[in-house]
Structures are given as C-alpha cells and as structure tokens.
Amino acid sequence: MQTTMMKVPLSLNHLLERAGRLFHGSQIVSRLPDKSLKRHSYAEFYRRTRALGAALQALGLRQGERVATLCWNHHAHLEGYFGIPAAGGVMHTLNLRLSPEEIGWIAADAQDRFLLVDDVLLPLYEKFKHLHAFEQVIVVPFSGAPVPPGFTDYEALLAGADADAFVYAPHQEDDPVAMCYTSGTTGRPKGVVYSHRSTVLHSLVGCLPDFTAVRGIDVVLPVTPMFHANSWGMPYIAVMMGAKLVFPGPHLHPDDLLDLITAEPPTLSLGVPTIWMTLIQAYDASLKAGSPNHGRWKLPEGMRSMVGGAAVPESLIRAFAAHGIWILQGWGMTETSPVGTLSYPTAALRGASEDERFRRAAMAGVPAPLVELRLRGDAGQDQPWDGQSVGELQVRGPFITGSYFQVGSPDDKFTPDGWLRTGDVATVDELGFMRIADRTKDLIKSGGEWISSVDLENALMAHSAVAEAAVIAIPDDKWGERPLACVVPKPGEQATPEALNQLLLSKGFAKWQLPERYEFIDAVPRTSTGKFWKLKLRERFSS
Ligand code: ADP
C-alpha cells in the first residue's frame, strides 16, 4: 500500500510546459553570424520546441534514438535541448572543436540517426560525413542564407509541423534525454547519458540560493558551450526559472563578448577561466587613456560569474571583484552533469574576513546537495579532510553517471562499491572545501614528493606581468620529474625567472618546489573546451 507521496516521474517536459505557461514574455537573445541580435520570446520558444518534437516524430524518430547537434549557443540549439527529448529522442551534442575524425568517430559510436547542424558549420560536416551516414541532416539557417539542396531546412520543418497537436512521448524518469562524450584527453572518448531524473535534480540543485541562485529576473549569458557538458546545465535551469538568456553564437573573442555584455548586460555569466582571463585583460586595457577601445565597454556591476572546468586563480577573482563582479568557482566533469561542487560562503564562513573569502573562492568548493565526495589514498585508504592529505577524488550521487554508453562501468572508472573515480587528485579541508591539486596525469613527482602544478600556476598568474602560466612535469635524472613553467607575458611586459621565483618564495613555496626552468611562450595551447592543453606543452618541451 502506498501511504506517502504521489509517484510522479521527474520530467524535462514539465520544465518546458511550465515555461510555456508562466514565462511567455521572457526573452531569448541570440547573436547571429553577422553579429546582429535575434530575439525570441519564451512563447515562441515553447511553440517552436513542440513543433520540433512533432516534426521529429513525423520523421519516425523512435524512443531512445539519438539526434546529434552540431551547433553554437543559440535559440535553435535550446529548442533541440527540449524538443528532442520531448519526442522521445536523446540529444547528442557533438563538440565542434574536435577534429573531423573524432567527431565522425563519436557520431558513429553513438549511432546518431539525425543531425541538426548550423549552416555555418556545414563545411565541418563535409569533412566528417564519410565516417557516419546520418539518415537526415537538418540545417539551421543561422546565417540567413538559403539552405543548400540535399538538406532539410530546419525552419521549413518547424513551419510544416503541428505544434498544437504534439503529444509528448511516454517515458519513465530514468529514460535518457541527452548524451555527451568525454573529451578523451585520458583515453578513448566515452558517452555519458543523462536522464530526465538526473537533469531535473541537477537543475533544482543548480538554482539553489547557496549555488548559482538563478532567478526568473536574471539575465544569463552562457559562454560555456552547449556542445559540451550541457553548458553546465544552464539551458535547463534558465528555462525552469524563466530567466532571460543571451547566447553569444559563434562570437567568443573577448572584444565580441564585451560588446555583447555591454549591449545586453547579464546578471549571471558562465565560462572557463581562460575566457575570463583574456576578457578582463582586454577590459582593463580599454580603461587606459589612449586605448583604441577606450569607453567602448561597460562591465555590469553586481554580475555573478560562474567559472570552472579548470582551477580559477585568486588573481582572476580579485581582478573581477575590482569591478564589482563576484566569481563563483565550480568543479565538475561531463560525468557529473556537470556541477559537483561550488565555492560559496557557507555557514562556517559567517563573519570571515575579505581575504578569507577570496581564498575560499579560489578553491573548488563544497559538494552540492545530493553529491557525496571522498578522497582515497594510494593504498585505497580514506584520506582525512584536513586540507593537507592528498587523494583521488571519488564521487557518488543521483546526477553522476553510473556507466558509459556501450562501455559499461570499467574498473579504472568505478570503484567496486560504485563510486566514480574522477582522475582528479585533491585535498579537502575541515570545512569541506575541496582543492584540486592536479589531474592524475598532470601531477609532478619530484624526489618522491608531489608538487601541485595548479598551485604554481595560480601563484604565477598573480604576477602583474603574467597573462597566463601552465606548469608541466619534465623528466629529470636525479629527481624523477621537475616542474617546467610555461609563461605568457602580458603585451609589452617582461617577467624574469628571478622575479617569478621571488614571488613564489614570498607566497610560501619551498625552494625545491620552484620551477626548474621557465619557457616564455606566445600562448598556452587550448583543448576543445578552452582549457590549457598541457599534453601539447609536454610534447613540445619534455625533451
Ligand atoms: P575535459 O577537461 O577532459 O574536457 P571535462 O570537461 O569533463 O573533461 O572536465 C573535467 C575535468 O576538469 C575535471 O576532472 C577536472 O580535472 C577539471 N576541472 C573542472 N573544474 C575544475 C576546477 N574548478 N578546478 C580544477 N580543475 C577542474
């Protein structure tokens, strides 16, 4: 006998219905390839999304089949986020920054049936189409040009579908809604599949006040790509709350982002640290008299910015705070939906000094509600939460993947008792604040002692002449490995190894932890998701 609550399955469709009913007037702004802005109301989004669902069903999409997307961040991609699962399909976001060979391999591995692609990305599609035959290629006329023959026109498809007669595909809450492949920096890319249930729970947690606190009156700028890790879940969260969305389209250069931020000031923005580093440098340079961009931009005071995907240096947090913008650091992975931890002032930090708040903001933060976290040492023992003991980070929770598409739950990814092995090495302190020391493969072991590349990088990036710094291990006959620092100086500035070492010593690094060598380079190579690509640096410098 059921004596408790109703068993109503958690469903993304509920978020869409709610948005259609409650938030008709909210706006979705998309930057088009020609840099103009296109506006849709939520009422239009709701109708178009249901039309997409109806059209996919009319094309014969069956329950659980994958519909791939190869799109920038914009309104039509958002329609895919909801319309594909509404029809019973699984939205599979393809990462347009991967090589054509990788994209083709991933589409074939996922057995994607249909593809939704931006017209401006058709040249990329042409390069991998021999690797996987989609049954139908639906082209979003994003640039406004006519869709080339041989493809299905997205707008014509929607216009021909009956949104009013659309009926949601029946589903259970554990049925899949979306999938994303890991970027494969540590092996073959693997598909992570999200469910209605995991997505709704992640969305609820994501807008808690002690989290990103997304509200209906927010204006949200997701710079994080919708083609990787669901743009940190923000499309779902924003629609759930009816927030205004501002999508940058293909224009991610700092000048373009600053133009967009000035035109449509966000109250919340999201991106990886490398994006915000270049953006704040461009902005601060524009404030100098005589700059060609003097007076062009305005950063919105009071904006929150969620930054993660890689460690966020304290210097970056302070640089934004100087303009009244607070950075919230998060940690996560494709496997964790993706937000697993967030750094915010917890109850224990009531009355903490400003310096302490900054120090905490530069950590990966505390676990989200519903996420459990533990550290395991080399011998498999539980490591204490003392801020010192290092261990492999393992996590568990209802929005953390339990397996990979077609690969299952390999031993190197899951523990026998069912926790995800993140491949990150971390410490956790008494207050539950985590600090990522490194990814396992980036750790530097010198004379039997670990050196955290992340700590060195963050300290180096606090130097006024340093734009970026990435630290890698180089082989060393005597010590096994030693740190090598690759430093990008700010334009017109010079940083010497002596000055940088002096800075590190003043920050409490021991002599043996100082970089063995400095290389001054033009730019740190980036991965497909905009993070520092240390593999490339290792290839270049390790000999
Ligand atoms: P990839 O980096 O291979 O593209 P993901 O996008 O899933 O894959 O990234 C997950 C990884 O990013 C984490 O395992 C961790 O190493 C790193 N990461 C994410 N957030 C942070 C953070 N706040 N601090 C340090 N590292 C982070």
Sole residue written with tokens 């994501």:
206
Ligand 1: which atom is nearest the Cα of residue 336? 7
Q: Order of strands across the sheet with 326-332? A: 37-41, 27-31, 244-247, 219-222, 268-271, 304-308, 326-332, 339-342, 366-367
pTM: 0.93
Q: What's the pLDDT score for residue 185?
A: 60
**343 pLDDT more than 80:** yes
Q: Please report, for the domain that includes residue 307, its CATH number.
A: 3.40.50.12780
Burial 443-459 (b: 16+ CB within 10 A, else e): bbebeeeebbbbbbbbb
Q: What's the pLDDT score for residue 542?
A: 77
Q: Is 308 in the pocket of ligand 1 (CB under 6 A)?
A: yes
Task: Please identify which of the residues 450, 516, 519, 536 carries the catalytic annotation.
Answer: 450
Does residue 213 fall inside a structural domain? no
Does residue 5 fall inside a structural domain? no
Task: Please identify which of the residues 35, 298, 445, 507 carries the catalytic annotation.
Answer: 445
Q: What's the pLDDT score for residue 183?
A: 79
Does residue 201 fall inside a structural domain? no
Does residue 7 fall inside a structural domain? no
pLDDT band at 353 (very low <50, low <70, confident <90, very high): very high
Note whether 158 and 183 are same-domain residues. Answer: yes
State the DSSP code for 144.
S
Is beta strand 420-428 parallel, antiparallel or unpaired with respect to 434-439? Answer: antiparallel
Which residue type occupies 379? Answer: A
Measured distance between the N- and C-terminal CA atoms of the chain, rounded to whole angstroms? 69
Residue nearest to atom 26 of ligand 1 (CA): 310
Report yes or no: 306 and 269 within 8 Å, Cβ to Cβ. Answer: yes
**514 pLDDT more than 90:** yes
What phi and psi, each to the nearest 5 degrees, are found at residue 331? -120, 140
What phi and psi, each to the nearest 5 degrees, are found at residue 52? -60, -45
CA 333 to ligand 1 center in whole angstroms: 5
Q: Which of these, 330, 87, 326, 130, lies nearest to 224 by C-alpha position?
A: 330
Note whether 312 and 388 are same-domain residues. Answer: yes
Q: What's the pLDDT score for residue 2?
A: 65
Does residue 496 fall inside a structural domain? yes
Q: What's the pLDDT score for residue 46?
A: 98
Q: Is 401 in the pocket of ligand 1 (CB under 6 A)?
A: no
Q: What's the pLDDT score for residue 543?
A: 72
The residues that bridge with 374 in the sheet, in sequence order, are: 394
Query: pLDDT (tens digit, 9 = 90+) per residue, 422-475?
Result: 999 999 999 999 999 988 878 898 888 889 999 999 999 999 999 999 999 999
Task: Please identify which of the residues 69, 182, 212, 278 carries the catalytic annotation.
Answer: 182
Mutation to probe ligand 1, out of 424, 435, 471, 529 (largest number of atoms < 8 A from CB): 424
**Separation CA 355–CA 357 (nearest Å):** 5
Active site residue 539: no
Report yes or no: 140 and 71 within 8 Å, Cβ to Cβ. Answer: yes
Residue where a domain stops, chosen among 415, 441, 467: 441
Does residue 215 fall inside a structural domain? no
Note whether 475 and 410 are same-domain residues. Answer: no
Residue nearest to atom 19 of ligand 1 (CA): 309
Active site residue 468: no
Mutation to probe ligand 1, out of 106, 231, 306, 333 (largest number of atoms < 8 A from CB): 333
Q: Collapse the DSSP code of 80 into the 3-class scheme (helix H, G, I; strand E, B; otherwise coil) and give the result.
A: helix
Mean pLDDT of the chain: 95
Side-chain-side CA neighbours of 190 within 13 Å: the count stands at 19
Note whether 469 and 520 are same-domain residues. Answer: yes
Q: Collapse the DSSP code of 42 into the 3-class scheme (helix H, G, I; strand E, B; otherwise coil) and give the result.
A: helix
CA 330 to ligand 1 center in whole angstroms: 10
Note whether 164 and 259 are same-domain residues. Answer: no
Mutation to probe ligand 1, out of 331, 401, 456, 533 (largest number of atoms < 8 A from CB): 331
Query: pLDDT (tens digit, 9 = 90+) per residue, 223-252?
Result: 999 999 999 999 999 999 999 999 999 999
Note whether 427 and 447 are same-domain residues. Answer: no
For the stretch 344-351, contacts whose Cβ atoms lie closer than 8 Å and that sit 24 or more positions apart, written own/partner, are 344/210, 344/211, 346/210, 346/431, 346/432, 348/431, 349/431
Query: pLDDT (tens digit, 9 = 90+) per residue, 258-277?
Result: 999 999 999 999 999 999 99
Burial 285-309 (b: 16+ CB within 10 A, else e): ebeeeeeeeeeebebbeebbbbbbb
Bond prior to 148 in cis (omega within 30° of 0): no
Q: What's the pLDDT score for residue 438?
A: 87
Question: Angle at Cα 136 formed by Cα 105 and Cα 403, nearest 5°?
Answer: 40
Note whether 160 and 263 are same-domain residues. Answer: no
Average pLDDT for 200-212: 95
Average pLDDT for 284-301: 97
Residue nearest to atom 12 of ligand 1 (CA): 309
CA 100 to ligand 1 center in whole angstroms: 23
Query: pLDDT (tens digit, 9 = 90+) per residue, 359-410?
Result: 999 999 999 999 999 999 988 999 999 999 999 999 999 999 999 999 999 9
Note whether 457 and 387 are same-domain residues. Answer: no
Note whether 361 and 471 are same-domain residues. Answer: no
Task: Please identify which of the residues 79, 264, 314, 335 carries the catalytic annotation.
Answer: 335
Does residue 510 fall inside a structural domain? yes
pLDDT band at 531 (very low <50, low <70, confident <90, very high): confident
Hey, what are 231's tokens? 């743009």
Note whether 379 and 502 are same-domain residues. Answer: no
Q: Is 531 in the pocket of ligand 1 (CB under 6 A)?
A: yes
Total domains in the fold of the chain: 3
Does residue 497 fall inside a structural domain? yes
**186 pLDDT more than 70:** no
Q: Please report, for the domain that includes residue 485, its CATH number.
A: 3.30.300.30
Q: What's the pLDDT score for residue 184?
A: 66
Average pLDDT for 199-209: 96
Note whether 108 and 186 are same-domain residues. Answer: yes
Residue where a domain stops, chosen among 410, 441, 472: 441
- Is residue 465 classed exposed, middle or buried when 0-12, 13-18 and 19+ CB atoms within 10 A define those classes? middle
Active site residue 182: yes
Q: Is 373 in the pocket of ligand 1 (CB under 6 A)?
A: no
Domain span at residue 431 reads 252-441
Residue nearest to atom 13 of ligand 1 (CA): 333
Residues present in the chain in total: 543
Hey, what are 179's tokens? 């999938």
Note whether 378 and 274 are same-domain residues. Answer: yes
